[in-house]
Every structure is written in structure tokens, then in C-alpha cells.
Structure 1
Amino acid sequence: MKITALISFLLLNIASLLMHTAHAQPAGAHEDHFLYQIKPGDTLSSLSETFTSSPANWQAIKKANRIANTRKIPTGITLRIPFNLIDEVPDQAKIIYLTGDVLVNNQPIRKNHLISEADTITTGAQSNITFELSDESKVQIPPDSIVHVQRLRKFRGAGLIDAIFDIQTGKVAAHASPNKTGVGRFEIRTPVSITGVRGTVVRAEAANQTGASSELLHGKAAFIPGASRYQPVLLNANQGITATSKGEAGDIIELLPPPDIQLSQSSPFEFKVDIKPVSGAIAYLVRVSNDISGYDVLFGNTVKKPETSVTGPGKGTYYVSVRSIDNNQLAGADAVQPFTITATGIMTESGVSIGTQSGPLLQTQY
């Protein structure tokens, strides 16, 4: 079975996972249908008016669901609404953070650039971009990644997101539907897998030689490897999974916990980070951000020893985050601590610190 034919399995299972969420009746998609969980007071006419181009489409919805009596539709059942009836409009995402060299369609961009359907985003070394969809879902693309925005639309009436991000190489992190309003569809794809998310914090990676992986930090998600003819693998919080380059899934793996970290100032512009070793960790990803949530990343580094040093581009307060990496290259949640630089550094226009062998250049007051 081709991977595109498996999307139905993926999204149907996402729906079954998330139907008990009180504030989120939208339940993903299945094949050519948007799924909606009936709540008290819903009628085919009202749903047709909300989600489609015409209230008269209730008859087509009735036919698609083989409903005999429209006055007795049980609360809680999943209604299938054909996508060809849903009035969708193009959507755009606004860039909220941008660091380093980022290209969109092979052209350099600035923060005021809008991300649209069919864009291809390329991040260079020590580069990062975070953009926000119209429902406040956030998508972050870290360094050395190429991601194609395969679909970026929204329902005209309900404002639900219909988005597909295709990782050609590298990584994507996403927080889908943070306000728990639900999505029409939200997928992160690689050449050998699909991860469907909703109300979820998830990371996904595609590597040319080693396959793909997903790390679920919050919520629930479904991971489907390209070679599987079975149901998707359902992930809970703090679980991850890998797939080989042939699309064969591994076992569900519990993600490593965030490490304990201690910071001590070693100079006016540098802090030493001591990491308490985590059992099973072979390395640690250390990043410095402007914000506590880690969306506005300035730079990062993977270290094998449980110690390193961090700095900032200038005077101010920054945040160091550290996550443990296991031998499957899966990473867990971040440990985060603030630190304050008292010296004033010099950085490039794109926000990267200008460094020397002994640290960043400093702006000295004379």
C-alpha cells in the first residue's frame, strides 16, 4: 500500500484518539472527508452552514453518512463531511522569529515575509525560523533543514487549519492548535512516514540515510511508516518512534527525561553549563534562545560530554535549554534556565553573535 493511501488510516485513528476532548469537535480527516464529532444541538443544516459553501449541502452530508433520520443523530458519533463541499481559502503564516540564513524558494527573506502554500524553506547552519499560522499553531524549522509547505489553507467558515508540511531533510517542530479549537488537518510528512497531530507538541525528522523519526512531547499523535499495511502507531506524551529508510517502523520508545542543569558564570559574557548525566543519554542538545519557550533560537550545539559553555549576543537575559539524546537519536523535553549577560556583545544583522576563539566580540565602553 502506498503511503498516500495510508493517510486514511492515520487520520481516522487520530480522530478516535481525540474524540473525548470536550472543546474540540473537529476530529481531523479520513480519505476525502473532514471528520466532526457531533455535540448536543448540532444539526446537519447548521454544520453544513458552518463548514461548507451552502446550507443546502446538508443533503450531501446526509448521503455521505447514510443517515436515515436527521432528527435522531446520536451525540458523539463522527460525521464525515466531504472535502469537496468545504469552502477553503488560501492561508498564510507570519514569521515571528528568524535567525541566521533562511531561504524561501531559494531567496533570502526577512521577518516581514509571509509563508504561503507551495513555499520551500531552507535553513542554514545556526539558522532558525518560527512561523505562526492563523489559528496560532506554531511551526519551527531548525538549522540544516529543507521543508516544503505542501498545503496551507483554512476553512472559510470555521477557520480550521488544513496544513501539510513535507520534510525533505532535517527537522520540524510544531505546536498544533494551542487554543484547542481543533484542526481540519495537520500533518508532518517525510519520505517514509506521516505524523498527524492536533493540539499536540511534536517534533519530526527526516534523514536521507537513516529514515525518519517523531518525538511527541504533549498530547497524542499517530505515526505511520511508509512500509506498513497496518494501523498507525499511536503515540502518547513523552514517546518517540523511528522508521528505517525503507519505511519500516521500530518500537515505541520512552523519551529521556530533561536533565538537571546548573549554570555558573565564568566571565561577564559566558556561563558554564553542568549537566547531570541522564541514564541512556549519548549526547545533549544545548540551545540559547531569547524566549523561555525556545522559539527564538540564537544558536545551538550538540555535546557528548555533560558540560559546555553558553553566551548571548549582547547584554540581556537569555535562556539555555538542554535535552537528552538517546542512541536512537530521539530527544526528550528541555530543561530550561535563564542567564544574564552583563557585557555588551556585537552581533550580525541576522542576529548571530560575532565570535572569536575566546568568545563573542564585545562592545567596550571607552
Structure 2
Amino acid sequence: MQRAIRQGQWYFKLAIFSLLLFTSIASAQEWVYTVVPGDNLWNFCEKYLHKVSYWKKVQQINNIKRPKRMQPGTQVRVPMEWIKHNAVHAEVLTTRGKTTLIKADGARVEAPAPGTRIALGDQLETGPESNVTVRFADKSLITLHADSTILFDHLSAYGETGMVDSRLHLLKGRGDTRITPASGPGSRFEIRTPSAISAVRGTEYRLSSSEQSNASTFEVLKGKVAVSGEQKTQLLPARFGTRVEVGKPPLPPRELLPPPTLDTLPEKIQQLNWPVTWQSLKGAERYRAEISQHADFLSPLWQQQISTARVPLPDLPDGDYFFRVRGIDEIDLEGINQTIRLTLDARPQPPVPLSPNNAGVFRGNLPNLSWSASADASAYRLQIAQDAEFNQLLIDQNNLSETGFATTALKQAGKYYWRLYSISESGEQGPVSDVRQWEVKLIPDKPEASIAATESGITTSWRAGIAGQTYQIQLATDTEFKELLNNESLKEPNWQLQPVTGQVRYFRVRYIEPDGYEGPWGATQRIDPTPDNSWIYTILTGVLGILLI
């Protein structure tokens, strides 16, 4: 608690010191004005100075000999303390998501519209996945990103000189700034965080303040920024940054990580959640990716931190966008952006082919195609072709209202390829679905086996099948082939078996396709037993015995 009080006292003293120092410097400095046609000393003093009566002093300081008609192009020097000083306002330029403006009197303005005025003492807050861009009197800009809070400590200008004094307090979160170059010694743009103060006079830089780490980061993209903390200041040039922890001085300037190298994207991205990839960046612990409709990224539509060099795009409407990504090093400094333009053309989303399974084979029956219903579609377009490139179209049917199609007309053996499109209510055709394939094959013929007796036994044979076909033979004692004697797979279209006596046997054969499909069995062949002549030998043996007696 005591430490927090001491820190608060230090920041108060630093702010008072900075204000007094700035006032002292501004008082000691002079504003230089370039005379334009029509100027005279009195209208000049009336427009820019506190009092018209200063004209005598201005004449004396600048040795003006013709106060009624000053020479165009000449320069007039005026002490800063003589110039008009007045309060000005900032205004909301763009806003997205949940944004709240808390007025100095406590009134809350939810979702302030573009053009809403911001005055001294107001506070601006953003919620998750939100951002707001504020424009100041000198056209300087700050974009406040998600989960951020900023307080407008000071908003003033030196009359119509163009010199504006803006001082802010970033309590937490992140901001991107684009600061208009100073137009005189009274120009000032300063942002304070719980751990540091950044002062600039024309530049572009990012800053953040983290409650978790009690630290702030500053990354300069253009120009220079002076960052002060614990009575020490670091001057950051372009492409350098620093980190400042509470109670510690800024770290020495560190060079920001270079822009990542993005991998090539399609000319049109026609798939939702398409992954954008890039080459891993040495020294990057994480990456920040952002998407905007405009190249200035004043109001990003989406941002995400990721740990890998890959991020799927969000679900956005079709159109042109800008994508950028940068690396984040181990002390949370964010590097230089790599930005590309991309085109999304993913709607209406194509349906997903469901059946048949890809590369399915059909014999005897033909498939019914089916696909998922697309929420974006009012109808579907189906194409079926004989080639994967769809140069040989067989069917090209528009305005299908159902999510299925019977292929009864496609009976010829061969491969078929199919794909789908969704068609919106306005008639727009979306991107193509994945290509699926099926194949129609003929059912193998029934082999007709012949049986012949030879000296070596009984030979069965049949017509040879096509290349790759094999043959299954079965031999049984019954016509239903439940009592099998043989069940074999053969590569040759013939088979030999030995003759037997006293038993009728049955034989059949069928073709087996190279993919394992089993064709129909051929006709069942009956194989009768060989004659049993053993009784003749019995009689002859008996007769021979009688004769021998």
C-alpha cells in the first residue's frame, strides 16, 4: 500500500514537473508565423493573440515597418505566452463492439456514435473484441483496442495556430497512435501509463499497459518517441521499442522483430476458416494477427494472438480485406507488421457431399447422391462428369431444391465424378464443393464349367476371366454345398480331382474380382462316382478257389 502511495506521489510530482517544465519552455519559446496576402498587424493580433493591443510589441520585436500591409512570406515571431489558449475537444471517429464513454460528471454514454465529443476529464472504455478510434483537434489519432481504458487528462489548443496540447492516461490495454507533426513549440502529445510517460511531436507508435505484469511497452513505427520512467528517459527511433516496469527505468531500446514472410494465398479464398500461414520468425514467442476493411486499420474487425505461424481466418462476409501479422518477442514487444490484401468469396457456402462414400464401387445397383443442406442456399447446382477436370460433363443441373439425386441413368461401367454449388436467393453461385467419385462395374458372368475324365483323374475347366480375376471352386456332397469337401481359390481356370466310388459329388465355380467382389456361382455340376467292380473280383476269386480244390 505504501509503495502504491509513493508511486502515486511520484507520478503526481512528475506530472506537475512536466507541466511546469513545458509551460516554462513554451513561455521561453516563440511561435513563428508566415505572413499570407491580406494580413495586417491588427487582424493578426485579433486572430491569434490574447489582446489586440499586443500589436505594438509584435511590431517592435519584428521591426515591422508597414503594419497595415505586411509583406507576404515574411515571418513574425511571437512569444508563446501571448498566444490565445483555449480548451478543445476530441471526438469518436470509429467504434466497434462494446464501447463506453464516461463523462467527467459521471454520465455514461454506451456505444458512442462517430462524432461524439470527448472533453477534458472524460474516460473511454472498450470491452472484449471491441475498439474505438479517437481524433484530436490537430487530426492526431489513437485507436484503443479491446479491454482498454484511457483518461483524457488535458485537451487544449493555442487558438487557431494549429498547436494542440493533448495529454492522456492509458490505465490499461493497448493503443495505436498516429500523431500529426508539431506545428510549433506549443504542440504536444503525451500518454502516461502506470509505469511511464511517452512524449512525441509527430510519429506513429504503439503502446500497452498490462495490469498482470505491471509493465508498459512502447513500439515506434515512424519518427521518434521519448519514454520516461524513474527519472530516466530513453529516446526510441523508428523500429525500436522498450519495456518499462513499475518502479524501474525503461529498458535500453531494442530493435523490433522484422515482418514475417507470409505464404502465398489464393487469388480468391473460397473456403471458410481458410488458414493463413507464414514462415516462423526467429525470436517470436507469439504472433498477433488482425483483419480490417481498410488499409489504415483504424477499426480492425478481428484480432487474435496465436503461438504458431498459422491462423484460420474468421467467418466474415465476402469482400476485400486487409490482413496483417507481426511477431511478439519474449518481453512482449510487438514487431513490424506484414500486411497483405485478400479477397473472401466463400458464400453461399457449398453443401458437403455425404454419400456415397468417396471412390465407392457399385455393381448391379446404382448410387443415390446426397449432400448436406447449406444455410446460405436456396437451390443447388449438381455436375457429374467422366473426368476429374469436369471437361466431359454428363449432367449439369441447376436449381435442384432437394439434397439428393438418383443416378439411375448412369449405368455404363466406368468412373464418375460429382461436385456441387450453392445458389443464393439472389441467384449468386458460391464456391464449389469437394469433388467426390464413384465407379460402376459390371457383375461378373457365371462361369460354365465342363468336366472331363482323363488318365490322371477328372479335370474341370471354364473360360478364363479378365486380368486380375481369380476363381473360387467348391466341392461338396450336397447340392446346397453345406458339406464341403473342398473350398479353394485358384489362379488358373481349371482344377483336377480324383475319382471316387460310392459317392456323388457336386462342383461349382465363380469369378472373384481384383477388389474382392464375388461374382455369382456358375451352374452346379454333378460328378458321379466311378463304377464299383469289386464283385467281379470276388466271384473270380471264388471260382479260382473251387478249381484249385
Q: TM-score, normalising length from structure 2?
A: 0.52
Letter in 2 for 1:94: E
- Is the 1:193–1:247 Cα contact (8 Å) retained in structure 2? no
Question: Please, which of 105, 108, 111 is the counterpart of residue 110 of structure 2?
Answer: 108
Cα distance in 2 for residues equivalent to 1:261 and 1:12: 49
Residues 159-174 of structure 1: matches in 2 within 5 Å? 159-174=162-177
1:52 counterpart = 2:49: yes
Letter in 2 for 1:212: S
- Is the 1:100–1:126 Cα contact (8 Å) retained in structure 2? yes
SS of alignment partner, residue 2 of structure 1: helix
Please name the residue that 1:16 is paired with. none
1:99 counterpart = 2:96: yes
Deviation at 1:90, TM superposition (A): 3.2
Letter in 2 for 1:233: Q
- Is the 1:312–1:341 Cα contact (8 Å) retained in structure 2? no
Residues 84-163 of structure 1: matches in 2 within 5 Å? 85-105=82-102, 106-117=108-119, 118-163=121-166
Q: Deviations over 1:145-193 (max 9, x none)?
A: 0111112222222132211111111122111116x64562111111221
Greater displacement, 232-241 / 46-55: 46-55
Deviation at 1:201, TM superposition (A): 0.2
Deviation at 1:7, TM superposition (A): 5.7
- Is the 1:8–1:31 Cα contact (8 Å) retained in structure 2? no
Q: Aligned pair in 2 of structure 1 residues 362, 127: CA closer, same or farther (>3 Å)?
A: farther
Residues 347-362 of structure 1: matches in 2 within 5 Å? none
Please name the residue that 1:2 is paired with. 10
SS of alignment partner, residue 80 of structure 2: strand
Residues 12-91 of structure 1: matches in 2 within 5 Å? 29-31=22-24, 33=26, 35-36=29-30, 51-57=48-54, 70=61, 81-82=80-81, 85-91=82-88
Cα distance in 2 for residues equivalent to 1:362 and 1:247: 56
Could you tell me which runs of 5 or more consecutive residues in structure 1 were left unpaired when the two chains were aligned: 14-28, 62-68, 346-360
Please name the residue that 2:253 is paired with. 252
Deviation at 1:242, TM superposition (A): 1.2
Q: Aligned pair in 2 of structure 1 residues 273, 7: CA closer, same or farther (>3 Å)?
A: same
Deviation at 1:262, TM superposition (A): 2.3
Q: Which one scores higher on RCO, CA 8 angstroms, separation ≥ 6? A: 1
Q: Aligned pair in 2 of structure 1 residues 86, 363: CA closer, same or farther (>3 Å)?
A: farther
Could you tell me which runs of 5 or more consecutive residues in structure 2 were left unpaired when the two chains were aligned: 1-8, 36-40, 64-74, 103-107, 349-373, 378-423, 426-549
Residues 314-333 of structure 1: matches in 2 within 5 Å? 314-333=317-336
Residues 215-364 of structure 1: matches in 2 within 5 Å? 215-225=219-229, 227-228=230-231, 230=232, 232-264=233-265, 267-311=270-314, 313-344=316-347, 363-364=376-377
Letter in 1 for 2:26: H
- Is the 2:92–2:118 Cα contact (8 Å) retained in structure 1? no
Cα distance in 1 for residues equivalent to 2:327 and 2:237: 18
Q: Aligned pair in 2 of structure 1 residues 161, 263: CA closer, same or farther (>3 Å)?
A: farther
Letter in 2 for 1:219: G
SS of alignment partner, residue 333 of structure 2: coil
Greater displacement, 115-124 / 92-101: 92-101
Deviation at 1:263, TM superposition (A): 4.7
Deviation at 1:314, TM superposition (A): 0.6
- Is the 2:31–2:80 Cα contact (8 Å) retained in structure 1? no
Cα distance in 2 for residues equivalent to 1:55 and 1:2: 41
Please name the residue that 1:21 is paired with. none
Please name the residue that 1:17 is paired with. none
- Is the 1:176–1:200 Cα contact (8 Å) retained in structure 2? yes
Q: Deviations over 1:36-81 (max 9, x none)?
A: 465888xxx89976653125458999xxxxxxx9459xxx9x9862
Q: Deviations over 1:323-363 (max 9, x none)?
A: 11111101122111111111359xxxxxxxxxxxxxxx974
Question: Please, which of 190, 195, 201 is the counterpart of residue 192 of structure 1?
Answer: 195
Cα distance in 1 for residues equivalent to 2:55 and 2:91: 35
Cα distance in 1 for residues equivalent to 2:375 and 2:83: 56
- Is the 1:91–1:116 Cα contact (8 Å) retained in structure 2? no
User: Who wins on radius of gyration, i.e. which is larger?
Assistant: 2
Q: Aligned pair in 2 of structure 1 residues 196, 362: CA closer, same or farther (>3 Å)?
A: farther
Deviation at 1:321, TM superposition (A): 0.7
What is the number of residues matched between the two proteins? 320
SS of alignment partner, residue 216 of structure 2: strand
- Is the 1:116–1:152 Cα contact (8 Å) retained in structure 2? no
Deviation at 1:264, TM superposition (A): 3.1
SS of alignment partner, residue 33 of structure 1: helix
Cα distance in 1 for residues equivalent to 2:344 and 2:16: 51
Greater displacement, 102-111 / 213-222: 102-111
